[in-house]
Structure 1
Amino acid sequence: MPLLNQTVLVSIGLLLAVWTVGAGWFVLEARRRARRGEAVQRQARRLARMIDEAPALPLLVRADGRIEGPSRLAGWLGLDAMPGYLSELDAGEHGLDEVELSRLMDAVRRAQKTGAPFRLALMPRGGTRSIAAHGHLADPQVSPGGAALVWFFDFSESEAELVKLRTETSAAKADFAGLSGLIEAAPLPMWFRGPDFKLRLVNSAYVKAVGAASADVVIAEGIELIEPVDRLSAAQVARQAASRMVPIERSLLATIKGQRRALRVTDLPLGDEGVAGYAVDIEEMEELIRQFRRFREAQREMLDTLSAGIAQFDDKRNLVFANQPFLRIFSVPQAWVVDTPPFDRVIDRLRDAGRLPEVRDFPEWRRERQSWFLAREPKEESWHLSDGTHLRVVGQPMPDGGLLMIFEDRTEQLQLSATRDTLLRTRTATFDNLFESLAVFAPDAKLQLWNRRFAADWGLDEEFLATHPRADVLLNQIAPQLKRPAQVGTIAQVIQGATLERKQRSGRLMLADGRHLALAGVPLPDGNGMLTVLDITDSQKAEQALRERNAALVEADAVKTRFIANMSYEFRTPLTSIGGFAELLQSGLAGALTEQQNDYVAAILSSVERLGEQIENVLDLSQSEAGTLPLKQEKVEVFPLLTQVVQERAERLSAARLTLDLRGDRSAGSVIGDARRLQRAFGQLVDNAIAATPEGGRILVEASRKRGAKLQVVVSDNGRGMEPAILVRALEGLKVSADGKSVERRQGLGLPLVRQVIEAHGGTLELMSEPGLGTSAIVVLP
C-alpha cells in the first residue's frame, strides 16, 4: 500500500509535472500566437493604410463577379460604398456608364479566361476625374479560382497636363511650321549649323545667294556664303559664338548673285543644338551712309562759304560743328570746337570774350537760351554787342533734339540802310533842285517818283501825281500843252523803251507856248525807267547860231585850203628860179666867186631846199585835210628805203656824235604805197630822233614783219623823253622844248603830216615816251 501510494504519488507528481510543463508550454505558445496575431493585425492595418495612401487602388474580381476593393475606390467612382458585384458599378447617375462598364467587364473576362493583361481609361459619371485601369490574372495566393486583379490609377492631373502638353505641342508644331515657312520665305539668307558646325539647314534666299541648285546641294557640298575673313572661316566664327555663348555680329563683303554686297552677319548660339545665322544686306544702307556723309561734308563746306555764322549742337547739347564765319565773328579757334564743348561752356566763352549782349541776370538769360533746344518753333532775337556789332540770331530746333544757331552780322547792313536812307533823302533833294524834269516809271507804267520841276514844266497838280497814275492817264493830262497833241505818242514810246524794252530812246517836242523840250528814256538797274525832260529853248537858239557859224567856218577853211594850195604852187616858180640862179653862180658861169660868196650861195641853196620841203609839206597837208592827197600805188621795199633814209643823214649823225643802229633785212617785205611820201615820213621820224637825242646817244631803226602779215617799223631813241600830255600836243603840230616838259608852236609840220601820210596808207602811228628814258615811234603798215 505504501509502495503503491508512493508509485501513485510519483506518477501523479510526474503527471502534475508534465501537465504543468504542458500548461506552461500552452501558455507560452498562446502568448506567442497572440503576439503573432497582433503583429499580423498591425501589418494588415499598415498595409491597409498604405493601400489607402497609395496612388493606385486594387479591385479583386472573382470568377462569379463578386468584387472586393477599398472604400476609397468607391469615392473615385462617385459611389458611397463599394458594391458586391462588378455589374453594380453602374449606379444610375454615378459610377460607370454602360459603355465604360461594358469595356471593363469584357477586359476582366478576357483576363480571367486567357490571363491577358489590359489597360483602360475610364471616365466616371458626373465628374472630371480620369481613371486608368490596369488589370491581370490574380495570383492564386491572393484569390484562387481565376480571379482578376485590377489596379485603378487617378490620372486626372496627368490628363490635364497631357491635354495641355498636347495643346502646346500642337501650337508648337503650328508655330514651327509657320516659323519654318517664314524662314523659308525670308528675303535674307538664313542657316543653321549642327553641333559639328556644319550646315544642316538653309533657306531659299541662301540657295539663291550662293547660286546653288537646291538646299540639299548646299548642305551636301558645304557651300559657304561668307568667305574667310582674317583666316577665320564661317564655321570657325560659329564655333567661337558657341564657345562664348554670345552672339557674334560683324560687317563684311560677300558675293550675292554675282555682285559684291555689304552684309551684316550674325551668328546666334542655340546651346547644345547648334548655331543659327543670318545675313542682312546693308549695301543700300551703307550707300545711304556714304551719301549722308558726302551730303554732310558738302553741306558743311557750303556753310563755310556763307557769310552768316553757323553753330550746330547735337541732342546732348554739345557743339559738333561751327563754320568759318562763326569762328571769325566770335574769335574761336578751330581746335576748341574739335573738343565738342557743351552749350553752357560755349556761352560762357562768348561772354568772356565780350561777344554777348550785356544782360542783368546772366544765368537766367542762359537758361532761356537752353530752352531753345525744347522749342517747337524757331527762335529769333537781336544781339547788340559792346563794340557796335549787331547780330541777328536764329535758333532752329532740330528733329533729333539738337539745335542749329545762325548768327548773321547785320552791322554793315544797318549801316548801309542808314546810308541808303541818307542817299534817298539826298536823291530827293537833288532831284528837286535839278534843271531837268525827272519822272520814274515802273514796268507796269505807273509813275513812281518825280521832282518839282517835272510838275512845274507840265503844269501838273501834286495831288494828282500822288495817286501814282499810269502813263496813259498822265499823257492825257500833258497832251493839250503840246503844239501838236499827236506827238504825245513820242513820250509814250520813250517811256515804253525805258521800262519794257530796256532801251534808251530820245526825242524832241515843242510846246504850245513855243518852248522846246528834249526827252530821254533811261533804263534803271531796278527794272524801272526814268524819263528826263530838259528845256532846250535857249540851246536851240544857240545851236542854230552855231550851225550858221560852223557853216561859215567850213567855207572859210575851204577857202584857206584852196589859198594854201594855190600859194604853194605860186611859191614853186620863183623858188625854182632862185635855186637855178644860185646853182649857176655856184658853178662859176657868172665868174669866179670868193670863199665868202660861195658860202652865201650854199646858204641860199640850203634855204631853197628847206623851203621847198616845207612847201611840199604844206601842200601835202592841205591835200590830206581836203581828202585829195594823191598817192602812188606801187610796190615799195621797206628795208632798202629805210637804208636810204639813214644814209642821207649820215653826216648829221656824225656831226651830232650819235650812233644809229639799223636792224632788219629784206625779209621785212614790201608794202603798196607812195615811196616818196613814205621816205619823207620815215625821214621826219629819224630827224625828230636826231633832234631829241643828246650827244653820245643812240637811235634804233628796226623793220620786222608782225603776226597777221603786218609790217612794223620802230624808230626809238634814248633821249630826254616827254610827258604823255606833251606827247599828245606834239602830234598836234607843236614843237617840244629842249627839256621835253613844254611845247611851243614849231616851225614846219612834222609829226601831224607823218601821221596823215601813214594813215593815208592804211597804217597807224603810235608814240610812246618816258621822261628820261627816250621816245619810240611805232609805225604799222598793212
Structure 2
Amino acid sequence: MFTPLMLASIVVATSFAAAMVALLVLSSLPPGRRRKPGLAHADGPLEQAIFLFDDRELVDATGSARALLGSIPGEGCEWARLAGYLSQRLRGFETEMDALADRGEVELKDRSGDLRLRAEWLGQLARLTVTDMSAEGQGVLVDALSQKAQEAELAGLRETLASAPVPVWRTDESGTVVWANHAYFDCAAEQCGDDILTWPVPVLFPDLSAASDAPRRQKFGPAGDGSVRWFDCHSHAVEGGTLHYALPADTAVKAEGALREFIQTLSKTFAHLPIGLAIFDRQRQLALFNPALVDLTSAGAEFLSARPTLYAFLDRLRERRVIPEPKDYTTWREQMMDLEKKASSGLYEETWTLPSGQTYHVIGRPHPDGAVAFLLEDITAEITLTRRFRSEIELGQAVVDTVDDAIVVFSPAGELVLSNAAYDELWGVEPALTLGKVTILDSIRRWQELARPDPAFGDIRDFVASIGERAEWTAGIRLVTGEMLACRIVPMPGGATLVGFGRQRSDRPQFRRAPRSRRTEAADATESLGV
C-alpha cells in the first residue's frame, strides 16, 4: 500500500527526471535548430527580412532587412526608401499602410506573386515582413531581395546606356574594346560595311588610347561614300581600363567652318580698306587685322600674326612712335587701361598727333562676346587741308578787317557768314560770339534800332532772299545820330549778298538807285523792239 506521502515523493522524482531528460535532449540538438530571440526569429528554414517601425522611425530590423535597405538607392530615412521601393512593386501600398492600425494585419503581393508583404499592427509598432516567393523553399532570402533590387537597377542602367544616342565604349589597358553600347556597334557596322559583328569589336578611334581631361575631336569616316562625321570624345580612367564617350560635333564643326569662311570674307573685304582694323577678343588677344594696320603702325606682319595682347600691341606702337609720346610710362599705362574701358563701352574716340607729324583718328568700339575693335585712320591730308583752309580764312578775315567800310555777307538762306571789324564797331555787334545763327532779319532789326526808318531795309531783306538774276544797287541810310551812311548792296557768287555801309565825306545828298524789277526790264525790252 502506498501512503500519500510516498505517492507525492514518486511524482516529484518523476517530474525531476523528465526535466533532466528534456535538458539533455535540448543540449544535444545542433545550433541551427535552436530558436533565436527577438526579430532574429523567423518561421521557416531561412531568415526573413523583418522591419519594426514606430510610426516612420525604424526601431529594429533583421540583418537581411538592413541589407535590403542598403541596396535601395536614393536618399531619405529608412521608411521613405523602403516605401519608395515597395510602392513601385505593390499596388496600393501607401493606402494599405495608412489603414494598418484599423485592420490590424495587411498582406500584399505583386502582380507576378513573387514578392509578398505581410504587415502587422502590434499596438504602437508596425511589423513588416518581406518575402520573396520565388526563392527556393519559399523562405525569406535577404540576398535574393538585395540581388533583385540590384538587378533591377542594373537592368535600368543597361537600358539607359544601350539606348543612348551617342557611342559609349570601354577599353582595357591594351586598348581593346571590352564593352560597347548599341550606338557604337552601329558606327562600327557603318565603318566595316557589315551588319554582323563579332568580337573583338573594331576600334573606331585609335587615337584615344589614354584618358584625357580635355575633349578630343575625332573624325569618323564610314565605308563607301558616306559623309564624314565628327565627334568630341571624352575619356575617363576607370579600374582596369578607360571609359569613352563620343558626342556628335558635326554642328560645331560646320559652325566653325562657316565662321572661318566668314572671317576670310571679312579679311578679304578689310584688305582693301585704307583704315587700319584691329579686333581683340574677350581675352584681349588680337583676333583679326588687315594689311592697312601693318602699314599704319609699322608693327610688322609677323608680330601681328602671333596674336599679341592689347597691351603688347600698344607697347609695340609706342616703340614704333605710332602713339602720342607720354610724359611718363606710368601715366601712359593708366591711359591705356582707360582706353580699353572706354572702347569696351563704345566711348573712345581720339585724334593722335604723332611725333612724325602724322595725325591718326582712332576709334574704339565694342563687339559681341566681349571683343573690342580699334580703327586707325590716317587723316594727315585732311588735317593739312583743313589747316590750310583755316589759314586762308583767317587771312581773308584779316584782309576784310582792314577795310574802313562796314561789310557783312549773307548766305542765300539769309544767314550771316562774314563781317569785318568795322561792321561790328558800327552796329555794336559781335556775330562770332553770338550763340546760334544770325539771320538777315536779326541784322535788320539791329539796324533799325540805330537808324531812322527807311524803306531800304525791306528792299535789302527781299534782295537777300530773292532768287535769279540780281544787280548791284545803292541806298542812303541816316542814323539816329544824324550821320548819313552810304549803303551798297552787291550780289555775290553762289547766291550770297554783300551789304556795305560807308560813311559819307561830304554833305552832298546821296541818290538811291533801287534794283530794277524784271517787269521793268521786260517793259524796256519791249519798248526798244517797238512793240
Give the TM-score normalised by the residue count of structure 1.
0.35
Structure having greater relative contact order (Cα 8 Å, sep ≥ 6): 2
TM-score (norm. length: structure 2): 0.48
Structure ranking higher in helix proportion = 1
